Amino acid sequence: MRIVTWNVNSLKARLPRVEEWLTQVRPDVVCLQETKLADAAFPALTFQALGYDAAHHGEGRWNGVALLSRVGLADVEYGFGGADAELEREARILTATCGGVRVSSVYVPNGREVGHDHYHYKLAWLAGLSRYLDRDDPAGHRLLCGDFNIAPDDRDVWNVDEVHGATHVSAPERAALAALCDRGLVDVFRERYDAGGLYSWWDYRAGNFHKGKGMRIDLILASRSLVAGLGAVLIDRNARKGKSPSDHAPLLADFSLPEVP
């Protein structure tokens, strides 16, 4: 199973590039973030023509997450499944079962700056995500994929002191991410690469991409049952180049599943 996560920064603006990339890479399951679409505007037929079933959870102007799958799309759950109205105002998580794996497409709040209301909302949302995962089948295959807006450690940031008023690298954010991993989820990128300087996001401004000023904030977290069959992992930096790119590059991982129902 080839799984991809990609923050596309407006699916409307990015659709031609997304179509082209999917045609070349042929992933089985795709998690998209920041579609910025209402559900009625989601281009389901475009993806159907490429062989994908699709689900979308959007609100129109901001946020919005989607799942595409060529290996089945069942038991779709929107948000935290109605568990927390305050945290579900924004369309930030969508979950389904694809090819025997429970998969979530996740868009963690940005947080803006440490101490800001948005920062406290980010931490509250991460706590809500943790509660949501409490409901998982502990024996099931699990993938949590998306834009976490957290750089797991200092290797994942070009310069810790320069970053976003220290959001994305603050201790409480990193602790919340570590707590997710403590549940048995593995940052699969680090199963294949030890080096720093390997990023998934670069600010559009100031030529940051070409200066190598980025962060690794897009993650695929996988249950240990899946990591056992982990193959290649790749950030496709080329997708950040050229005309009208997203500010994020897609992250890809291949798994051979122990068993597919």
Partner DNA sequence: ATGTCCCTTCACAAGGGA
Q: Binding residues for DNA, per CB under 7 A?
A: 9-10, 12-14, 36, 60-62, 109-110, 112, 118, 204-207, 244
CB of 170 to DNA, least distance (A): 16
Residue 46: burial class (beta carbons within 10 Å; 0-12, 13-18, 19+): middle
- Identify the active-site residue in 52, 78, 107, 199: 107
Please state the φ and ψ torsions of residue 162, each to the nearest 5 degrees. -95, 0
84 as an active site residue: the answer is: no
**In angstroms, what is the minimal distance from the CB of 44 to DNA?**
17
Angle between helices 117-133 and 171-182 (to 10 degrees): 10
Closest separation between CB of residue 92 and DNA, Å?
Answer: 10
- Are 189 and 220 a contacting pair, CB within 8 Å? yes
By DSSP bridging, strand 230-235 and strand 218-223 are unpaired
- Residue number with CB closer to DNA (61 or 194): 61
Centroid of chain to Cα 168 = 15
- Cβ proximity to DNA, 118 vs 224, nearer residue: 118
Q: What secondary structure letter does DSSP report for 161? A: G
Q: Are strands 218-223 and 142-147 parallel, antiparallel or unpaired?
A: antiparallel
Of the candidates 147, 187, 218, 247, the residue annotated as catalytic is: 147
Q: Closer CB to DNA, residue 208 or residue 225?
A: 208
At closest approach, how far in Å is the CB of 114 from DNA?
Answer: 13
147 catalytic per annotation:
yes
Cβ(101)–Cβ(143) under 8 Å?
Answer: yes
Closest CA to 102 of 66, 128, 83, 76: 76
* Cβ-based nearer residue to DNA, 60 or 229: 60
Q: What is the set of active-site residues?
A: 107, 147
